[in-house]
Structure 1
């Protein structure tokens, strides 16, 4: 097998947790395995970019084990609040953790799947993923990575030759299996399940695992764990906002304990700065609307605190939760300034910039991506009217963090609105034409290089 011996660092600490954290499962056997996307940039970071396509398909379409890591796939067990209703009947219903690896920085990463077959937690589902759903997830993760949002990375997408029936898209529709590279698949809901079962020993073991393997800290202190999760999730919420991104389903089983975004279903990028904009057609109350995402993420973290209450006192947990806003405010300022291509200054000035940008975007209806493109590391163009004078004044003292010398700035802003997602999918569906898909990946990565 053609792994890079210098970069391939297999691990399997998840197996030490043992029961009751997962079920050993088998991958589905697919009639076909047609490679549609392989992320060699991500693969290089874990020593797997030297695999040829046949080896790639064997591991990520047929799920032959990678050397010296997990011997069998593990479907993780968890519960969660789904639109604030507690559900004890969920878990990895169409995915599993396939391998654990360390990257060059020593971070423990999971290779997890979506659409890899039924598990004990599938309930009435078929355990499959539509090809369109896989394409959408690749586009989401590439765009978020380029916009500096902590996200899982779409590692592989393989079409499976299956025809799937779905209620929310024309059927039968093509099937696929996705592999994602993520800094943990341990969710807030993983802790909720153990608390629901009143398994204090397992709660302590999981706390120790997360602190040791994911944060590099010793001990089993639940308060320290909550402090770290509060900080990371506040940063995630801030970067969602600066990216103009709406996840759509911020349930507690969709928030992991490293503050890394993952599992993309009805996501959207907001065309304009509208706090009421929703991604999911079924989110009738706007619970996870664009402007409510920080609140939604904090609510989920509160459920983690509730689970940890079984092994910790309330007061220090409450104190940790109370620091969410303290972390969020500088994080949103840093995220907006990063996207504006400016270096931060004093905290009060930075907050004033964010407030002025939000007011102007809401008041004028200028497209989010257009504004950040036009304002990056330069004065606002003259066609931005007097409504933008406060933004001009606020930004005047700020130095650029990098010049507008990349070729990207000579073109048009790279965006990812729903209309373009559908336009990328249409030729794939009609004629198996992947030209627009691959061109968009190239354009997103070009933007990421210009912003980095």
Structure 2
């Protein structure tokens, strides 16, 4: 492999040893057909120079990348719909590699030459559908091609909307015919590789707590602190919890601002860096509906749209319970409680910021920002199905700078009434943030890029019935344009 200078292997999780993960091998797939290759994501870790053959060798056959020891199936437990499951772990995926992200120095006063590479965050390459592991139980360790396509779409959409998310690096079709009980079978198979900041889950701590291993929790605290929250002092479990609470509050606020319903916010699907990942039965809101659910099996609405903050907080309480095992005095226990209780205020602060970002305006202070948040939600609630979630943020991006565009657009007749007047007043109080972004071609389009379930099914149908991948790639290109325009 012609590894470039930006490739910096750093396999730190592997140093923890066999009590935290199991060395595994990938499945031997009958075919490896490259379907999605995310070169922009690959460039951030120095892997964009791979040829397609090398790409398939590393992300379809899983030949170890240089400086990487080989795949490991991570051990963890978790609450699934608030029922504890001690039989979890990487059952159809593994941690394939870890490396440093590259940051490009641009500022003139940087201490290095402009354009040179600086080490950034530690990033993981994790798989989905790569074969059975010791934690597969009765599963086949595989991923349906449709499931892979859906994850690619979810990650691209969320990144375009400014949500902290894993990125789908690679999708390779693997030539197997899978039997599934919840979709037409046999169905095509795939292996996905995602790039994200960490795969250490709340459930990683839960496994150690389940076995009463305070020593393992101490090891995890130091591992996570040093690599992902270095501002936290060594041994400061409450400080680490506070950092994870802050990251989780930001993630939750961004999911809400995006109108996204994750579907399975279990403790094994939340990580210590506050990134959304592992997209199964996800949905985006068609319009404002607090009780909207993504999973057909979520019969009680536990993970409904408006209950997602509650779900994340509940999961954080489970993490806090694990950290109590290493709290050596009553003040530390109280500090853990204080850190946990910081979620609510942090979430509200982050929600204001998220809505400002989605509307493309600057902060005017807490009171004015809260007024804009409240009036935006009130308008979405009043309009109901008449105005979908995403078009509001498209029409009114950059506030008053979009007035003429919005009032001449396809939803002009809806922009009236008391709720709209209150929203417009609150919006126009705020100065547009970089209004030059409106010059991008996406704002010349009457409608924004959305990702409702009907479109997802249409994109899949083209692949399933005609092996036509062009609609998917066209959609990904439009989502990339949206991300670039709003960035």
TM range (shorter): over 0.9
Q: Please say which of residues 401-410 and 150-159 is displaced more in the overlay.
A: 401-410
CA apart distance, 1:314? 2.2
Aligned mates of 2:336, 2:229 — CA distance in 1: 18
CA apart distance, 1:345? 1.1
Question: Could you say which residue in structure 1 is the equivalent of 2:339?
Answer: 320
Question: Could you say which residue in structure 1 is the equivalent of 2:278?
Answer: 263
Q: Is 1:367 aligned to residue 388 of structure 2?
A: yes
CA apart distance, 1:402? 2.1
Contact 1:246 1:267 in 2 (8 A): yes
Q: Please say which of residues 322-331 and 30-39 is displaced more in the overlay.
A: 322-331
- Partner of 2:176: helix, strand, or coil? strand
Question: Could you say which residue in structure 2 is the equivalent of 1:73?
Answer: 71
Aligned residues: 450
CA apart distance, 1:239? 0.2
Contact 1:207 1:225 in 2 (8 A): yes
CA apart distance, 1:329? 1.2
Question: Could you say which residue in structure 1 is the equivalent of 2:39?
Answer: 40
Aligned mates of 1:16, 1:49 — CA distance in 2: 27
Q: Which aligned pairs between 1:278-289 and structure 2 lie closer than 5 A?
A: 278-289=293-304
From 381, 390, 395, the counterpart of 2:422: 390
Question: Could you say which residue in structure 1 is the equivalent of 2:465?
Answer: 430
Structure 1: 5+ residue runs without aligned partners?
none
Q: Deviations over 1:5-48 (max 9, x none)?
A: 2x100011112211310011111000000000010000001000
From 355, 362, 368, the counterpart of 1:336: 355
Aligned mates of 1:264, 1:369 — CA distance in 2: 20
CA apart distance, 1:104? 1.5
Aligned mates of 2:325, 2:127 — CA distance in 1: 32
CA-based RMSD of the aligned residues comes to 0.9
TM-score of the superposition, structure 2-length normalised? 0.91
Question: Could you say which residue in structure 2 is the equivalent of 1:64?
Answer: 63
Aligned mates of 2:37, 2:229 — CA distance in 1: 28
Aligned mates of 1:109, 1:333 — CA distance in 2: 28
From 303, 306, 310, the counterpart of 1:295: 310
Question: Could you say which residue in structure 2 is the equivalent of 1:450?
Answer: 485
CA apart distance, 1:214? 1.4
From 74, 78, 86, the counterpart of 2:84: 86
Q: Which aligned pairs between 1:105-120 and structure 2 lie closer than 5 A?
A: 105=103, 106-120=120-134
Q: Please say which of residues 181-190 and 358-367 is displaced more in the overlay.
A: 358-367
Q: Which aligned pairs between 1:32-431 and structure 2 lie closer than 5 A?
A: 32-69=31-68, 71-105=69-103, 106-217=120-231, 218-312=233-327, 313-365=332-384, 366-377=387-398, 378-379=402-403, 381=407, 382-383=412-413, 384-386=415-417, 387-403=419-435, 404-411=438-445, 412-431=447-466
Contact 1:3 1:49 in 2 (8 A): no
Contact 1:205 1:220 in 2 (8 A): no
Contact 1:2 1:52 in 2 (8 A): no
Structure 2: 5+ residue runs without aligned partners?
104-119
- Partner of 2:292: helix, strand, or coil? coil
Aligned mates of 2:472, 2:247 — CA distance in 1: 32
Aligned mates of 1:38, 1:351 — CA distance in 2: 41
Aligned mates of 1:15, 1:287 — CA distance in 2: 35
TM-score of the superposition, structure 1-length normalised? 0.98
Aligned mates of 2:270, 2:289 — CA distance in 1: 23
CA apart distance, 1:178? 0.2
Q: Deviations over 1:114-153 (max 9, x none)?
A: 0000001001100000000000000000000010000000
Question: Could you say which residue in structure 2 is the equivalent of 1:3?
Answer: 3
CA apart distance, 1:101? 0.3
